[in-house]
Amino acid sequence: MKKILLHICCAPCLCYSHQALQENDLDITGFWCNPNIHPLTEYNKRLDALHAYQTITKLDIIYDKDHNINAWLTRTKKGWPLKDKKKRCLLCYKIRLEKAACMAQDKGFDLFTTTLLYSKYQFHDEIKTMCEDLSKRYRIGFLYKDFRKGWKEGIEISKKMNLYRQRYCGCIFSMR
């Protein structure tokens, strides 16, 4: 059975993604890494929702609770491309997905993937390409699945579980 590290952006996106992965012969471990979420109260609501999901499903989860928003905002030498949403998002994905690929390699996982592939609001093709590149760089397998086909099902699952459902992706820019 292959071990997979599943990067988790939030509990509602995890619902369908986790279910879809369970249909394969995989040993699934979640990975929470989202230093982008603002404000801290929002971060904590999402973390609480993930803890609720974990309690219900018994999914093993590794938590990277580095929530230093200032460090996140200053990760590039030139600063954030404030006016270009796509560039901001791609940089944000890279920070989190690189940590996931590195964690997968360090902890001996066979594969990694991300719940970011569930949201129809994200730059799906770019996430896939980024993960493929990280897979090569870190010599860790990447499992691509287009989780978007389960969009409605995931929403229903999260509602039945009474999970907190956020209204924006998480960053200070999307909050506005």
pLDDT exceeds 60 at position 23: yes
Q: What is the mean pLDDT of the chain?
A: 91
List CB contacts of 157: < 8 A, sequence separation 6 or more: 15, 16, 19
pLDDT exceeds 60 at position 76: no
The tens digit of pLDDT for each residue in 97-113 reads 999 999 999 999 999 99
pLDDT at 77: 47
CA pseudo-torsion sign 167, 170, 174, 175: positive
pLDDT exceeds 90 at position 38: no
pLDDT bin (cut points 50, 70, 90) of residue 133 is very high
pLDDT exceeds 50 at position 172: yes
pLDDT bin (cut points 50, 70, 90) of residue 81 is low
pLDDT bin (cut points 50, 70, 90) of residue 134 is very high
Using alpha carbons, list the distances in angstroms from residue 74 to 22, 44, 78, 98, 104: 37, 22, 8, 16, 25
pLDDT exceeds 60 at position 56: yes
pLDDT exceeds 90 at position 88: no
